[in-house]
């Protein structure tokens, strides 16, 4: 698909975005009403700059609201880059408008051009708290969960305020860990890669701090190549309607990445390409004899996967796809 097609797609999406944002806003308001909440907070990532310098946020604090820092006390995280929460009263016209405009902004950050530019996603999501919890206490607890200790030692920043990270981490956690991640947050909404509103929740507040198990770190380290593979697939496949599709793609890519690591792949681009083939060719493309032989030779020659696959033609890939569909009847 050429850049001209992307331009056309983005132009169409831009025209439809206000309608899409309005529909998402209605869905969000209904979700808040179901749990009896009228107040929420917007999560904002200021690593690309403070909201005061961002035209997108103009007017969001005009009715006296102020940004609340989410403390992330990590040596690589300057205070000026801490995530921010903005309290919003959705019962007011201004609060409702802020929700709708922030949803529109979040949708715009998912457009292919924005993602390819590497600009990131400033809108992390929207959350409401358990009634008895203060916003600052909840923010402090959430910040603690972002500081994780990997098996090899040290402290790692887990960017849970980034929807692309949170969306994958959540599926790796057990129920107790999910409650610990949310802490005092009752519900957390964000947009998945297809621009659909996703909701995370816990039955009750938790005073625990999220701690990843050693076996979960392997998958956490695969988040970046997974997102890269998924982004490429979505760029090449204009699918916007199936709410189950993106979750299935996420699972397929993660399972493929685990196999890629087992095959000895470690380079980021190699892993992203391997997961991309699982999405575009067949979920078990690497079981095909031709790919098995290629992987064996790659291991012996200590060659990059992206270089090793250059010998395969389009006809080869079509045969691999056809053969694997026949074997797995999928």
* CA nearest to 164, candidates 186, 191, 126: 191
Tell me the backbone φ, ψ of residue 322, rounded to 5 degrees: -65, -45
Question: Quick one: pLDDT at residue 131?
Answer: 75
- Summary mean pLDDT of the chain: 88
Q: Distance between CA 243 and CA 176 in Å, rounded?
A: 26
Higher pLDDT, residue 330 or 226: 226
> H/E/C letters for each residue in the chain?
CCHHHHHHHHHHHHHHHHHHHHHHHHHHHHHHHHCCCCEEEEEECCCCCCHHHCHHHCCCCCCCCCCEECCCCCCCCCHHHCCEEEEEECCCHHHHHHHHHHHHHHHHCCCHHHHHHCCCCCEEEEEEECCCCCHHHHHHHHHHHCEECCCCCCCEECCCCCHHHHHHHHHHCCHHHHHHHHCCEEEEEEECCCCCEEEEECCCCCCCCCCCCHHHHHHHCCHHHHHHHHHHHHHHCCCCCCCCHHHHHHHHHHHHHHHHHHCCCCCHHHHHHHHHHHHHCCCCHHHCHHHHHHHHHHHHHCCCHHHHHHHCCHHHHHHHHHHHHHHHCC
- pLDDT digit string, tens, across residues 133-190: 789 999 999 999 999 999 988 999 999 999 999 999 999 999 999 999 999 999 999 9
Give me the pLDDT at residue 67, please. 93
Residue 18 has pLDDT above 60, yes or no: yes
pLDDT at 10 over 70: no
Structure-model confidence comparison of residues 204 and 4, the more confident one: 204
Side-by-side strand order, sheet with 68-69: 68-69, 84-89, 39-44, 123-129, 185-191, 197-201
Q: Report which of 123, 143, 32 is spatially closest to residue 79, judged by C-alpha positions.
A: 143
Q: With 90 as the cut, is the pLDDT of residue 52 above it?
A: no
CA 297 – CA 315 distance, rounded (Å): 21
d(CA 239, CA 204) in angstroms, rounded, equals 36
Q: How confident is the model at residue 5 (pLDDT cuts 50, 70, 90)?
A: very low
What is the number of alpha carbons within 13 Å of residue 82 lying toward its C-beta?
20
Is the pLDDT score of 6 beyond 70?
A: no
Longest Cα separation, the chain: 65
| pLDDT at residue 329 in the model | 77
Res. 231: pLDDT tops 60: yes
Share of the chain above pLDDT 90, in %: 67
- The answer to pTM > 0.85 is yes
Interatomic CA distance for residues 116 and 228, integer angstroms: 10
Res. 117: pLDDT tops 60: no
Find, among 184, 172, 175, 179, the residue nearest to 212 by Cα. 172
Structure tokens at 174: 């057990």
pLDDT value at 241 more than 90: no
pLDDT at residue 20 is higher than 70? yes
């Amino acid at each position: 698909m050429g850049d001209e097609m992307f331009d056309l797609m983005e132009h169409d999406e831009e025209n439809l975005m206000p309608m899409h944002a309005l529909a998402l806003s209605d869905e969000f308001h209904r979700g808040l009403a179901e749990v009896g909440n009228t107040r929420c907070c917007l999560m904002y990532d200021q690593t690309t700059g403070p909201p005061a310098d961002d035209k997108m946020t103009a007017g969001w604090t005009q009715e006296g609201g102020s940004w609340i820092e989410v403390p992330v006390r990590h040596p690589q995280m300057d205070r000026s880059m801490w995530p921010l929460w903005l309290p919003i009263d959705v019962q007011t016209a201004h609060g409702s408008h802020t929700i709708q405009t922030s949803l529109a902004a979040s949708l715009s950050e998912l457009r292919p051009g924005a993602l390819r530019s590497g600009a990131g996603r400033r809108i992390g999501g929207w959350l409401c708290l358990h009634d008895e919890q203060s916003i600052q206490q909840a923010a402090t607890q959430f910040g603690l969960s972002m500081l994780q200790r990997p098996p090899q030692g040290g402290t790692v920043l887990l960017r849970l305020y980034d929807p692309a990270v949170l969306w994958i981490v959540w599926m790796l956690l057990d129920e107790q860990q999910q409650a610990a991640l949310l802490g005092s947050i009752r519900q957390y909404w964000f947009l998945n890669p297809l621009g659909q509103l996703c909701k995370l929740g816990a039955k009750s507040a938790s005073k625990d701090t999220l701690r990843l198990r050693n076996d979960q770190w392997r998958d956490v380290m695969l988040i970046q190549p997974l997102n890269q593979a998924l982004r490429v697939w979505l760029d090449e496949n204009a699918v916007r309607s199936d709410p189950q599709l993106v979750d299935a793609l996420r699972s397929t890519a993660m399972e493929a990445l685990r196999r890629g690591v087992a095959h000895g792949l470690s380079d980021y681009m190699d892993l992203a390409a391997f997961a991309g083939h699982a999405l575009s060719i067949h979920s078990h493309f690497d079981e095909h004899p031709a790919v098995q032989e290629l992987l064996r030779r790659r291991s012996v020659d200590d060659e990059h996967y992206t270089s090793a696959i250059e010998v395969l033609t389009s006809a080869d890939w079509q045969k691999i796809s056809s053969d694997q569909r026949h074997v797995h009847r999928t």
